[in-house]
Structure 1
Amino acid sequence: MRQRRGIMWPGVQALLSAHACWVLLGALTSAERNRYDHCKSMVHTEEGPGWEYHACQPEATDMTKFAKVRLDPPDITCGSPPDHFCTLENPYLCNLCDASTPQLSHPAELMFDSEPALGSPAYGGGHGGGHVGGHVGAQGGLSTYWQSVSWRRHPEPLRVNITMSWGKTIELTDDVVITFESRRPSAMVLDKSLDYGRTWSAVQYYADDCHELFRREARRALDLTQASATQVICTEEYSRSFVAKQDRTVRFEVLNRTALFAGVGLRNVASLYARLDGDGELRRFFTLTDLRARLLQPATGDTFIDKENLKKYYYAVSNVQVRGRCTCNLHAKECKFEKGQLLCECEHNTTGSDCGKCKRGFRGRLWKAGTYLPYPKGMPNECTANTGNQNGLGGNFGAASKADAFLPSISSSLEELDTNPECSCNGHSNRCSYIDVLNIVTCVSCKDNTRGQHCQLCRPGFYRNFSVELDNPNMCIKCECNNFGAMHDRCNDSGKCECKEGTSGLKCDECQPGFHWNRGCHPIVCDEFLRCENGGTCVQRQRCACVSGYEGVLCEKSRCTSPNSCGSSSAGQRLRAPALPLLAASSSSLLLLLLLVALLSAGPVQTLVPTR
């Protein structure tokens, strides 16, 4: 039996070709993604088999699976007591939120669950009869979401903090995406913490009017350059009032920033890795222990804010996407989740939650993070076995006689302790000195911006990074206080700089309400909302330039205290209303004038002559 030769239509052929290209692109992307997935490999040399170490890191994954979520205030979720709410799109479409009924409740965990299809057990089509907390979406599946209470306490602000904590340092590898079931907020801030929630710094502002709400210029991530990749911007792109349902996402654009160095499609990843190796600020920008979304003002559309419309104003989040990986300093390829805690499975003879120190017995050189370069295997910078005098002088130096026996002078003490791998300097120095007067041994020449007897403190102008251990070279972070907004270049233990009057923010680079930024914060005297009066002109928001004849902060006062006090100033005369002579006349003269007008309007006066 002869087979019929199939005919391939041009459209089908093009489709298959496109599919083949997509598969190839996926394979390339997968291969790129799997680089740095081996920490060591077996090699054979003349001396026999051995290990060759490589820089390695865990694969990127959905980090929301490991996050602890907290809502502030705790009672902000709808349903206790039951509450009716309506939509802005259709004021007649209203529903009930009731925390006591699973099908009508919207708890916080519904921000992170998978949304099942119709007929599945989770939807109720099987025997599970599980939690619903949603409605049928546009794609035919169930849309589940968390929802806040409505704005029933207006004019008190309706504000919510959604905080995700990992209890460990992680690195973002993709955009942070928050999908709203309701309209997107009119004002929102995304914050991050590097010290487990002790201090926070903003990474992006969102508003429908950046200048009005945050006193910032509106920008997009696409407008950033390599020099401004870590700049905190305010964007109006995700706060529009009327959008299609599929456009209700708010993003923190990680890929747009990395594409500045790796190119479109991240094809030149070697360039990106070179920047990450050489620019600690860029790497730190994508690193965090906690992430917080501050919802500051719900969308109100074009409806008038009154008691009848308050049930339309609320927040509802259907999904939160955070992709990233554990920070393991390129010393681990796996990150395990045990007993509610993320931990790196460290290689290269390292240990610690972030592989941030060398194992005991492998401190032959100072600990160092791995590097991405030379691409594609990187540099492992593995910890090596101890060398030199293993019995050294580690341990207790409390007795003066023992110290004198080993350390007859400062110079010889330096020589003895230099070879001791257990020198108690937390890896920031390998030189110690004995101070005879105090009978102590102290580290000298502390590196990595550290100081102290054991290099355990930070130099002035730096503060302690509590997300890493004491022996991490990044344990001290530069304060980076703003030169114009801060009193000096030093900060407290949480990185907060001391700000000048009217200035705020962690680095003193933001202005308090009523102030504006111009090489420091200055009081706002006038702007487009607080305008100069009587023809005055606002000069750099700092003063009103008044026309002749007026004075005051807003040119609200007239200098003309008497009729002739303004002289012959034409500008002053133009702004004053002309004097009305009738208003200056006496009441009797005015009465006679009105009587005369009435007589004239009555026509000619007839003279009556008596008849004889």
Structure 2
Amino acid sequence: MRFHLALTLQALWTGVCQAAMQHYPAAWGHYDVCKSQVYSEEGLTWDYMACQPEAADMTQYLKVTLDPPNITCGDPPETYCALENPYMCNNECDATTDELAHPPELMFDTEGRNPTTFWQSTSWKKYPKALLVNITLSWNKTIELTDDIVLTFESGRPEQMVLEKSLDYGRSWQPYQFYATDCLDAFTMEPKTVQDLTQHTLLDIICTEDYSRGYVWKNDKTVRFEIKDRFALFAGPRLHNMASLYGQLDTTKNLRDFFTITDLRVRLLRPATGATMVDENNLSRYFYAISDIKVQGRCKCNLHANSCVYDKEKLSCECEHNTTGPDCGRCKKSYQGRAWSAGSYLPIPKGTANTCIPSNIGPVNCECFGHSKRCSYIELLNTVICVSCKHNTRGQHCQLCKLGYYRNASAEPDDENVCIARVCDNELLRCQNGGVCVNNVRCSCPSDYSGLLCENPRCESELGGCRGPDSGQAPLTPASLPGLLLLLLLLGSALLREASCWPALL
């Protein structure tokens, strides 16, 4: 009864999960659940899954630094001219006045204010010396990018710029993308666009002229690093096949790292000039100004957490699967029974959790008496159980027999025939006509019935036939047996009756 109830509850749980999956077809793509409780033959257990936090606006958690540090305008106060009109010089920057100050924090404030808020650099007063600015965004945490990086310039878009990334908290840098009005002249690179990339060249670093060439900044002020277009190489134009993308992130070397960062650096190398020649008599026309930077992503937790907390100006994963560390990058102290491993997106849709197991229960202690080669750690019970027991066994160590099978007393625990089919059962009244089941092995029949389940009326020679209304058997007479066989049968019967074993053995 308990077994059938467990199966019913399990089927109900499965049905609820399937219904939820149908109602929210894209939900699996987030891997936002680390574990769920399921019913099995062993009762209520945990089913572990790969998981990751939801994507968010990561600019609310960053620290911004500028190099050189005194590159922000306003100290001393300065007046600027419009790029498109050198005679319109009524824009003032003064760091001592809130309304006229343009500190770097204004690159990340809430948009929609009027007038627009923005950071602004000093003007190109030292021309022809290059006007160089490094803007570094640091998270002190590994994050994974999930959408385009977008910079919105309030001035003209730079004529030369490099976007760089770091994976080691700013100790080393590598280029993400180059931007220029003339890629060959600026960086000795052939100009390309993301549309020129393929699945095999996705990791190539390119120089693009799309965001710098031509004096069109009034129509479009943004500069992008196209994350979604790269995703689309695997997931399709509208990212409808995320299963393919997740599969590639799991199997393609360095692909996941390509979208992973700890820091971003924007290197501004040459401001917009709006013409082929710089007006040296009016250098206050040339400067950098950024009103918004968007960085969409999630904490990297190695598929071992579905939430990330921001505490004391620091991001940290809330690790599951007995892992720990800011990125869930190692097993807890007492759960190092095997080497730590990141979770896997595969198989879709739940992935593989690769849960850390207790130190004192490693793979070699996975004791299943040879009936299974796989174990799973059950956090609720703080123990390890054998998975997929074979040879009709079940239990934590495959030490029990499945329902419908009984323990073969003559076999060792690791014998493949340790559990054999159930002959009889008193609870289910398998023995017929008043028979009693003995050790699930045989039926002890009443004196007037025989057979494996006491299903046959017994024939007694002294009565001249078989008892029972439906026997239909011919009478047993001495003439029907050869003399020698009859003699052996009578001799055996006498010996058995002396040992009081006749009813039990027939």
Give the alignment's TM-score, normalised by structure 2. Answer: 0.65
Question: 1:108 — aligned with what?
Answer: 104
Q: Is contact 1:204–1:252 with CA below 8 Å preserved after alignment? A: yes
> Which one-letter code corresponds to 2:193 in the other structure?
R
1:79 aligns with 2:74: yes
State whether residues 156 and 217 of structure 2, in contact with CA within 8 Å, keep that contact through their aligned partners in structure 1: no
String of CA shifts for 1:462-508, please: whole Å, max 9, x gaps: xxxxxxxxxxxxxxxxxxxxxxxxxxxxxxxxxxxxxxxxxxxxxxx
How much has 1:244 moved relative to structure 2? 5.0
- Report Cα offsets for 1:439-466 as digits up to 9, x if no partner: xxxxxxxxxxxxxxxxxxxxxxxxxxxx
Select 1:380's aligned residue among 325, 345, 353.
Answer: 353
The aligned counterpart of 1:90 is 85
Instruction: Give the residue type in structure 2 aligned to 1:65.
Output: Q
Partner of residue 62 from structure 1, selected from 57, 64, 70: 57
Q: Does 1:168 align with 2:163?
A: no
Q: 1:203 aligned to 2:199?
A: no
Deviation at 1:31, TM superposition (A): 3.1
Q: CA deviation at 1:388?
A: 5.3
- The counterpart of 2:158, out of the listed 185, 200, 205, is 185
In the aligned structure 1, how far is the partner of 2:46 from the partner of 2:161? 50
Say whether the 8 Å CA contact 1:183–1:241 is kept in structure 2.
Answer: no
Moved more, 279-288 or 184-193: 279-288
CA 1:244–1:294 in structure 2 vs 1: closer, same or farther (change >3 Å)?
closer
1:20-419 mapped onto 2 (5 Å cutoff): 31=27, 35-94=30-89, 95-117=91-113, 141-302=114-275, 304-387=277-360
Distance 1:303 1:366, change over 3 A: closer
Is the contact between residue 192 and residue 201 of structure 1 (CA under 8 Å) also seen in structure 2? yes
CA positional deviation for 1:243: 1.4
SS at match of 1:237: coil
Cα 1:228–1:193 change in 2 (3 A) is same
Are the aligned partners of 2:84 and 2:274 in contact in 1 as well (CA < 8 Å)? no
Q: Post-superposition shift, 1:142?
A: 2.9
2:319 maps to amino acid: C
Note the C-alpha offset of 1:55.
Answer: 0.3
Q: Would you say the 8 A contact 1:171–1:326 is kept in 2?
A: yes
Contact 1:62 1:323 in 2 (8 A): yes
Deviations 1:42-87 (A, max 9, x none): 1111211111101000000011111110000000000100111111
1:10 — aligned with what?
none
Alignment length (residue pairs)? 341
Change (3 A) 1:32 1:381: closer
Give, in whole Å, the separation in 2 of the partners of 1:190 and 1:358.
Answer: 35
Counterparts of 2:121 and 2:350, CA distance in 1: 48
* Distance change in 2, residues 1:61/1:183 (3 Å): same
- The secondary structure found in structure 2 opposite 1:211 is helix
TM superposition shift of 1:246:
4.6
- CA distance in structure 1 between the aligned counterparts of 2:237 and 2:280, rounded to whole angstroms: 49
Q: Secondary structure at the match of 2:307?
A: strand
How many angstroms does 1:385 deviate by?
1.9
Deviations 1:199-246 (A, max 9, x none): 100010000000001000000011100000010000000002321535
Kept in 1: contact 2:28–2:350 (CA 8 A): no
Give runs of aligned pairs for residues 539-550 of structure 1, distance below 5 A.
Answer: none
Which digits, 9 at most, give the CA deviation of each residue in 1:521-579, with x for residues without a partner? xxxxxxxxxxxxxxxxxxxxxxxxxxxxxxxxxxxxxxxxxxxxxxxxxxxxxxxxxxx
**SS in structure 1 opposite 2:157?**
coil
Whole-angstrom CA distance in 2 between matches of 1:192 and 1:300: 27
The structure with the largest alpha-carbon Rg is: 2
State how far apart, in whole Å, the 1-side matches of 2:41 and 2:54 are: 34
Report the more deviating stretch, 236-245 or 76-85.
236-245
Question: Within 2, Cα distance between the matches of 1:303 and 1:368?
Answer: 55
Mean CA deviation greater in 90-99 or 308-317: 90-99
C-alpha distance in 1, partners of 2:26/2:315? 24
Deviation at 1:266, TM superposition (A): 0.7
Kept in 2, the 8 Å contact 1:115–1:142? The answer is no
Unaligned stretches of 5+ in structure 2?
Answer: 1-22, 363-506
Secondary structure, counterpart of 2:338 in structure 1: coil
Q: What CA distance in whole angstroms lies between the structure 2 residues aligned with 1:180 and 1:330?
A: 36
- Asked if 2 retains the 8 angstrom alpha-carbon contact of 1:38 and 1:56, the reply is yes
The CA deviation at 1:249 is 0.6
Instruction: State the superposition RMSD in angstroms.
Output: 1.9
1:137-194 Cα deviation digits (max 9, x unpaired): xxxx431100000001111110100000011111111110000000000000000011
Unaligned runs of 5+ in 1: 1-26, 118-140, 390-612
Structure 1 residues 28 and 222, CA, compared in 2 at 3 Å: closer, same or farther? farther
**8 Å CA contact 1:165, 1:196 repeated in 2:** yes
Query: For the residues of structure 2 that align with 1:286 and 1:148, how far apart are their CA atoms?
Result: 29
Measured after TM superposition, the shift of residue 350 of structure 1 is 0.5
Show the 5 A alignment for 1:8-27: none
Q: Provide the C-alpha distance between the structure 1 equivalents of 2:224 and 2:230, rounded to a whole number of angstroms.
A: 13
Is contact 1:58–1:326 with CA below 8 Å preserved after alignment? yes
Q: 1:276 deviation in Å?
A: 0.4
Which residue identity lines up with residue 232 of structure 1 in the other structure? I
Do the aligned partners of 1:351 and 1:359 also contact (CA within 8 Å) in 2?
yes
Measure, in 1, the Cα distance between the counterparts of 2:68 and 2:43.
Answer: 63
Q: Please say if residues 303 and 309 of structure 1, whose CA atoms lie closer than 8 Å, have aligned partners that are also in contact.
A: no
